[in-house]
Amino acid sequence: MKRKGKAFKIGYDYFWLVIGSILTAASINIFLVPYKIAPGGVSGVATVVYYLSGGAFPVGTTMLVLNIPLFIFGIRFIGRKFIVRTLFSTLLLSLVIDFTEPYSRDIVKQYFLKFEGGAPDILLYSIFGGVLMGIGLGIVFKFGATTGGSDLAAKIVNHFMPNFTMGQMILFIDTSIIIFAAISFNSFTLALYAIVTLAISSKVIDAILEGVNFAKAVFIISDKSDEIGQRILVDLDRGVTSLNGTGMYTGSNKNVLLCVLHRGQLPGLKELVNKVDEKAFIILTDVREVLGEGFKTYD
């Protein structure tokens, strides 16, 4: 039974790696490469090489060639499981990009340019390209791999500097590549579009990896903390924790209430606290992800 469960888990992970790679390839072929948007990474370098060579070097093949040194370096610092999955995703992404490129070109010409009279809205494509790429890469990251390039470089750097998110790492690494693309295409405007794509994709990646802000954490400091805590438990049906605190100015001991709740419950909480103690001190902060009863379950 354990073997079957493990095999199912591995198959499930690789299924999503396939989905993530396909979505990333779609963003590159449909929204980015046709309009010379190079948002960093080996895909950005491959886009520049593709146009400078007059299409002689396919984007997917160039990406695969550029990834070889990163794989050699990454094997020394990243676990075998991660490298195997990354190799799978990188090979798949390169194959899908080159295989679907002719069909993607037809889609762009037949549907996108057809409705716009040959004048594409590049800003719109850079936005949707960033969203789709962020979703694809976020899925790949979430299931233990990258698609190589700056993704793999970011994973390696993140191994040594965990205080920075994957999205931030990619944003930093890809800046120099965008500058390279701007010089190669002799277009500052295209660089701005690429920055839009990169910024959006990095935010989407972080949202998928870390969750979105759907909850609030509330700290309540009051002399009537016991009454407020009971009201939260009964009226809002939400758990609350009492923490021991000491006022540095007065030196008196106080109970600090900690409560995590959904956004829609905030007005009710504020009204409840105000009725019990108008002098209560409330601190609100965003929560990325909450696991446990009343929120998301553990994977």
Residue 298 in domain: no
**Are residues 276 and 254 located together in one domain of the fold?**
yes
**Are residues 275 and 176 located together in one domain of the fold?**
no
**Are residues 124 and 269 located together in one domain of the fold?**
no
- Total domain count, the chain: 2
**Are residues 150 and 259 located together in one domain of the fold?**
no
**Are residues 222 and 256 located together in one domain of the fold?**
yes
- DSSP for residue 148: S
Looking at 210, 241, 265, the residue that finishes a domain is 210
**Residue 283: which domain range?**
215-287
Cα dist from 164 to 42, 160, 168, 169, 205, whole Å: 21, 10, 6, 7, 13
Q: Which residues of the chain have pLDDT under 50?
A: none
- Which residue in 59, 66, 38 sits closest to 183, CA to CA? 38
Look at phi and psi of residue 54 and say left if phi exceeds 0, alpha if psi is from -120 to 50, else beta.
left
Looking at 180, 210, 240, the residue that finishes a domain is 210
Q: What is the CATH number of the domain that holds 265?
A: 3.30.70.120
**Six-digit token pair at 62?**
């160039």
Looking at 191, 210, 229, the residue that finishes a domain is 210
What tens digit of pLDDT does each residue of 220-279 get? 998 889 999 999 988 888 889 888 887 777 777 888 999 988 777 888 889 899 999 988
**Are residues 110 and 9 located together in one domain of the fold?**
yes
Q: What is the largest CA-CA distance in the chain?
A: 75
Give the whole-angstrom CA distance, residue 46 versus residue 14.
26
Sorted by sequence, the CB contacts under 8 Å of residue 197 that are 6+ apart come out as: 32, 37, 39, 126, 127, 129, 130, 133
* Per-residue pLDDT at 22: 94
Residue 295 in domain: no
Residue 264 in domain: yes
Give the whole-angstrom CA distance, residue 21 versus residue 140.
7
**Are residues 119 and 190 located together in one domain of the fold?**
yes
Residue 293 in domain: no
The answer to whether 231 and 212 are in contact (CB under 8 A) is no
